[in-house]
Amino acid sequence: MTDTEPKWRRRKEARPQEIAEAALAVFAERGFAAAKLEEIAKRAGVSKAALYLYFDTKEALFAEVVRTAVAPGVARVRGMIEASELPFDQFLQLFAGALTANALTGPAGGIAKMVIGESRNFPQLARLWVDEIVGPMLSALTGVVAKAQAKGEVRSGDPRVYAVQIVAPFLVSVLWRETFVPVGEEPFDLQALAAQHLATLRGGLMERAS
Amino acid sequence: MTDTEPKWRRRKEARPQEIAEAALAVFAERGFAAAKLEEIAKRAGVSKAALYLYFDTKEALFAEVVRTAVAPGVARVRGMIEASELPFDQFLQLFAGALTANALTGPAGGIAKMVIGESRNFPQLARLWVDEIVGPMLSALTGVVAKAQAKGEVRSGDPRVYAVQIVAPFLVSVLWRETFVPVGEEPFDLQALAAQHLATLRGGLMERAS
DNA sequence: AGCACTAATGACTCGCAAGTCAGTTAGGCG
DNA sequence: CGCCTAACTGACTTGCGAGTCATTAGTGCT
């Protein structure tokens, strides 16, 4: 009876991080509306009321999650894209590798699914997601394509559409994984898909080697 | 005061159809969880309690919606796919035309978004959607690709992956429309995207013309 | 040790939406 | 014309989850 453990400890510094991590997991699993603050609190080892010491509302908590958990990885990939001076087909390979290794394996998939599903009911979520994640990525990629067109490496055409063509199969297979694999469908092998997709893009996007 | 209109009419025959149509609209707008039966009832010109004369639960109502509103259009496209004996690139053109004209303009986009977003919380929805819509479409398309490979029209590779590559940009641009256009982003022009994507596929999927 | 400060709690309120039920009314039938 | 029935309603119950607040208990300081 003596030497009992304390019910809780003061951890002002560490709390926000811990809470954000727990929230990330629950948001990705349940979606925004269905995520219970009670459950987030429990996983963070804290009471629900404690969440409100650090975050004003559920939406503020989500914003924090995006900023601390998703944005850094995305910024890294984006920096890699923009710094690249490689020939276009080598760039594509690097990009596909980065996608399969980082962006799509981590939490981004679950969050992306969530944003898609609930954008109508929570437009602020969609805005935040566009501003912080999708918009920057898309315009970086569009820029690379345009540059490659200027160098004569890529056929003429709308570079924004090319960007979508490049990314879409990855995105779809991640949504597939998040949506249909849990009910028993076969997943797609991202490695194999990447290889085949790169081959297609090489034949379909690039000018014939002279 | 005399000659007052009746508060309601008995319409046993017509009701289910009317309710399903109203439900389709509300589900697509709000998502499954956030769709209020009250609102569906109101749009159908009926009280909430009346819904329960025709459907046991919210989920049963959703199942009915999929069966009556979405499945027929999908079945039509699928039939078209399977009946086709055209050369592969002409088939692609026909398929892209059918997608832009029917499948993606109708309610399927909104419902697809909904299923993606809420599959974790309502796995039965995901199952139903796979069984009735996505599964048949995907395997039909995979079949066509495999047949074209056998005829030497399409390069070797996993036909299921080719199917995803074909469909993904359309799917992504529809999700874009449903998710980000309402918060102010530019939509993609499906016609233009289809044209460019077909060109890419022609260069990337098909064997060189001999 | 004792005090002051604040991180943290648990039990609350409040609002909302699915599902229920006793009663009301349209309209077909004798 | 009036009556019977089942299609339909409005007011209800129930459950759940976001957000609040008075109270408790770790921690740092003297």
Domain-embedded: residue B169: yes
User: Could you list the residue range(s) of the whole structural domain that residue B144 is in?
Assistant: 68-205
* CATH number for B125: 1.10.357
pLDDT digits (tens, 9 = 90+) for A41-53: 999 999 999 999 9
Domain-embedded: residue A165: yes
Summary mean pLDDT of chain A: 89
Residue B197 CB coordination number (10 Å): 26
Query: What whole-number distance in Å separates Cα of residue B25 and Cα of residue B110?
Result: 9
Percent of chain A at pLDDT exceeding 90: 66
The type of residue at A76 is: R
Domain-embedded: residue B154: yes
Domain-embedded: residue A144: yes
pLDDT digits (tens, 9 = 90+) for A5-50: 666 676 767 889 999 999 999 999 899 999 999 999 999 999 999 9
Domain-embedded: residue A6: no
Which residue is closest to A176 within chain B, CA to CA?
A: B116
Contact B165 A169 (CB under 8 A): yes
Tokens at residue A130, please? 């566009």
Which residue is closest to A135 within chain B, CA to CA?
A: B185
pLDDT digits (tens, 9 = 90+) for B131-172: 999 999 999 999 999 999 999 999 999 999 999 999 999 999
Domain-embedded: residue B47: no
Phi/psi-derived region of residue B45, left when phi > 0, alpha when psi is between -120 and 50, beta in every other case: left
Q: How far is A111 from chain B (nearest CA, A)?
A: 10
Domain-embedded: residue A10: no
* CATH number for A167: 1.10.357.10
* B130: nearest CB among A29, A135, A180: A180
The enclosing H or E element of B101 equals none
Exposed, middle or buried, A191 (CB in 10 Å: 0-12/13-18/19+)?
exposed
* B172: nearest CB among A30, A121, A171: A171
Q: Using the CB atom, is residue B196 less than 7 Å from strand C? A: no
Tokens at residue A109, please? 């998939």
**Domain count within chain A:** 1
Contact A165 B200 (CB under 8 A): yes
Domain-embedded: residue B41: no
pLDDT exceeds 60 at position A3? no
pLDDT exceeds 60 at position A209? no
The enclosing H or E element of A177 equals helix A159-179
